[in-house]
Amino acid sequence: MKKTMLTGLVLAATLGTASAQFKLNSKAIGAVGKGVKAATFSDAEAAKLAKEAVDWMDEHNTVAGPQDPYTIRLNKIFDKHKNEDGLSLNYKVYKVVDINAFACADGSVRVFSALMDKMTDQELLAIIGHEIGHVKNHDSRDAMRAAYKRAAISDAASSQSGAVNTLSQSQLGDLANAILESSYSRKQESEADNFGYDFLKKHNYDVMAMASAFKKLQALGSGDKKSTMQKMMSSHPDSGARAEEVEKKAKKDGLAKGK
């Protein structure tokens, strides 16, 4: 995937067809408001920045229309989950070849059509449940804060008080990439896994779909061309262990179908 800049997932060069790649462009993203303090980055500030980034992505990528089969399928799966665990969520499909999905601090959930081609409905629920977990657990906010802070420091844009006045276009690019490429700790990943599992269990979905989704992503990550999500999954030495952990929990809960 050719990156020019953005998190959760990345944008790429040309648009207009389902074969387009995810596109990012720092010049299209507006300047961040003055006076944001990186050290005390609030949920509201993270949501504001996330919305600005997602609005740009929506504008510069091929979004499936309301009558598109991908949108119809996604709505069928997720319409009942627009308000989940205190979060206000909105869902769209990017018609791109990259295999990915992400949820941002503002509640925007974006699913790539190529991922939908590979996953069952239940597996999509598992993946998005995991991503929503990062938002609910404030991982998305913390990743945004860290990226914002690094960008400010790298360009000497912060004052002694830590207040960032504005971000340059290159810094906005770094910030955008952080949305799609956030690196979470094992603890954060484990907690997001737990959230995703509990999400499936609470709504009477197949919890084993989380294990099968992990295994599919791990297998997909073995190819030459890898998306951000594929690289993340294939680079995790414990990807198989995470699937096994789901299976163990499912067995304990009496939900391990076929086990």
Annotated domain spans of the chain: 26-182
Tell me what pLDDT residue 54 has.
Answer: 81
Give the pLDDT score at 171: 58
| Nearest of 133, 251, 137 to residue 192 by alpha carbon | 133
pLDDT at 135: 92
Give residue 64's pLDDT: 98
Please tell me the predicted confidence (pLDDT) of residue 157.
Answer: 43
β-pairing verdict for 83-84 and 108-112: unpaired
Query: Which of 52, 84, 123, 131 is an active site residue?
Result: 131
Class of the CATH-defined domain 26-182: alpha beta
Question: Which pLDDT score is estimated for 151?
Answer: 54
Q: How many CA atoms does the CB half-sphere of 224 hold within 13 Å?
A: 0
pLDDT score of 61: 86
Give one DSSP letter per residue of 164-194, joined into a string.
Answer: E----HHHHHHHHHHTTSPPPPHHHHHHHHH
State the burial class of residue 117 (Cβ atoms within 10 Å of its Cβ: 0-12, 13-18, 19+): exposed
Residue 131 catalytic? yes
- Report pLDDT for 9: 34
pLDDT < 50 stretches in the chain: 1-19, 25-35, 153-165, 235, 237
Using alpha carbons, select from 156, 185, 247, 237 the residue that is nearest to residue 210: 247
Q: What local confidence, expressed as pLDDT, does residue 35 receive?
A: 44
Report the pLDDT value the prediction gives residue 141, as an integer from 0 to 100: 84
